[in-house]
Structure 1
Amino acid sequence: MTILLLEDEYPAAERLQRLLLQAVPEAQVLAVLDTVAGALAWLAVHPAPDLILSDIQLADGLSLEIWEQAVVLSPVIFTTAFDAYAIRAFQANSVAYLLKPVKLAELQAAIAKLHATRKAWLNEELSQASPHSSLSIERLLDALPRAYKTRFLVRQGEQLLPLPVAEAAWFLSRNETVTLVAADGRRFVLDYTLEQLEGLLDPARFFRLNRQLIAQLPAVRRLHPHFGGKLLVELHPAPAEEVLVSREKAPALKAWLEG
């Protein structure tokens, strides 16, 4: 297994290389890079490695910028000391998010998950492939499990508090500001758009009702028929304004509620 390591702290890079050799004895670390610019330059001239192990914060910015600026097909395991920095990580081909200091068992589990996904996908592809067909890397990446956000770092006065996603009732966008409303009525302003939240939240638990609002399943109390085939959604806590779902989106909402 070939691995590209992105880490800007020398002791952490050394420790990760030792852990990698324990987790995957045949692992070959192709390069250790500490900047976004260096990683982009390396990826532009080298074949894609089997795996990228990347810190979120590098010397010149967030490593997530790499996936925003280039097409990177390699799966990635992110490491970070601060979960809040993984804001845009779902746009990358992520296998896992490991908090520092990374533990051997967690690294082994993440690599095992990657191997299991690849094996299942390859077996399916080989069973369906014709003698002249080729395997699609993109389909492998699509099959990788996605981790969804589990908490938000919210401001309460002068403090920053971790708020579990399970405590969110709904998210409202007004005047380019997104507010998280908790199940107990507390309100927190978030530095996200609803579009970003759609990629971060588990679609089995969250549904975008309209342009302004995303709700979590327990917050949806009742549906009421409305004019023109629309649905009026009763939420708890109740928003200040009516929440309407379009006629076109109503069937998807009902299917989501039924599970």
Structure 2
Amino acid sequence: MTILLLEDEYPAAERLQRLLTQAVPEARVLAVLDTVASALAWLAAHPAPDLILSDIQLADGLSLEIWEQAVVPSPVIFTTAFDAYAIRAFQANSVAYLLKPVKLAELQAALAKLRQWGGLHELRVRSEELRVDGIPITPNSSLQTLNSIERLLDTLRPYKTRFLVRQGEQLLPLPVAEIAWFLSRNETVTLVAADGRRFVLDYTLEQLEALLDPARFFRLNRQLIAQLPAVRRLHPHFGGKLLVDLHPAPSEEVLVSREKASAVKAWLEG
């Protein structure tokens, strides 16, 4: 994967390159540029990179001006200390909008989205012009752009801070901070609190993944999503898998696949 990095703060650029090395070892940063002008010149003289990782505010203006002044086919992950520019970011092929300081788990989640969208850039939407949040969508708009808008809207919605759970005949608001993990068994999802209380929820794990902060929650396997404080330790297991100790302890072993093992370790490191 080839990456163009747009960042005008040297420490932030160094941090992003370190995170990229951990998230995508095969990634190759083609250039690190700190101005809109240099980015426009570079893009005009080189083939489009596989990905652009860009701060919103560069030394000579907003990086969003690049997409307003030139056709840039590369997907982009925006990084910024502010969330005021998210709507304008929709008009670029934006994969994600990450707030600084960027965390490894968030960057990995954004790169996973990028991999999921691979190949969609050749598809076109055949429809009358419409608008999403005021952004014009024309017959030439790519399906990737439409998906980008939908998913960016999702990222701007706040993550859940509490769940309404049933206890006897009562409904209680349970803060997310008090949750240890969620378990899916026989099409039933159970919320387990840090104090051991259990509540049945009307959610699937897939729905919960979209509602929970990925920096705090991780889907360890098909059946279980855990919150960071509930993970006590990891044990190497057969075939490169990991055995996870949780508190409160589930009735069955919690195993992480070999494919997910490195992502779990990165999430725990933060």
Normalising TM by the smaller chain, what interval?
Answer: 0.3 to 0.5
Aligned-residue offset at 1:159: 0.5
Write the deviation string for residues 146-195 of structure 1: whole angstroms up to 9, x where unpaired: 31001111000011111001100000000000000000000000000000
In the superposition, relative to structure 1, how do residues 82 and 179 fare at CA in structure 2: closer, same or farther (>3 Å)? Answer: farther
Aligned-residue offset at 1:48: 31
Aligned-residue offset at 1:75: 21
TM-score (norm 2): 0.46
Aligned-partner SS, 2:248: coil
Counterpart-to-counterpart distance in 2, 1:166 and 1:20? 29
Counterpart-to-counterpart distance in 2, 1:151 and 1:94? 29
Q: How many residues align?
A: 249
Aligned-partner SS, 1:79: strand
Aligned-residue offset at 1:214: 0.2
Counterpart-to-counterpart distance in 2, 1:103 and 1:20? 11
Aligned-residue offset at 1:38: 48
In the superposition, relative to structure 1, how do residues 255 and 4 fare at CA in structure 2: closer, same or farther (>3 Å)? Answer: closer
Aligned-residue offset at 1:7: 43
Aligned-partner SS, 1:92: coil
In the superposition, relative to structure 1, how do residues 157 and 200 fare at CA in structure 2: closer, same or farther (>3 Å)? Answer: same
Counterpart-to-counterpart distance in 2, 1:72 and 1:50? 11
Counterpart-to-counterpart distance in 2, 1:28 and 1:224? 33
In the superposition, relative to structure 1, how do residues 143 and 216 fare at CA in structure 2: closer, same or farther (>3 Å)? Answer: closer
Q: Identity percentage over the alignment?
A: 92
Partner of 2:155: 143
RMSD of aligned alpha carbons: 15.7
In the superposition, relative to structure 1, how do residues 44 and 205 fare at CA in structure 2: closer, same or farther (>3 Å)? Answer: same
Write the deviation string for residues 72-114 of structure 1: whole angstroms up to 9, x where unpaired: 9999999999999999999999999999999999999999999
Runs of 4+ that moved beyond 3 A? 1-114, 123-126, 130-134, 136-144
Write the deviation string for residues 184-233 of structure 1: whole angstroms up to 9, x where unpaired: 00000000000000000000000000000000000000000000000000
Aligned-partner SS, 1:26: coil
Partner of 1:235: 246
In the superposition, relative to structure 1, how do residues 211 and 86 fare at CA in structure 2: closer, same or farther (>3 Å)? Answer: farther
Q: Which runs of 5+ in 2 are unaligned?
A: 118-126, 131-137, 143-147
Q: Which runs of 5+ in 1 are unaligned?
A: none
Say if 1:56 and 1:86, in contact at 8 Å, map to a contact too: no
In the superposition, relative to structure 1, how do residues 253 and 2 fare at CA in structure 2: closer, same or farther (>3 Å)? Answer: closer
TM-score (norm 1): 0.47
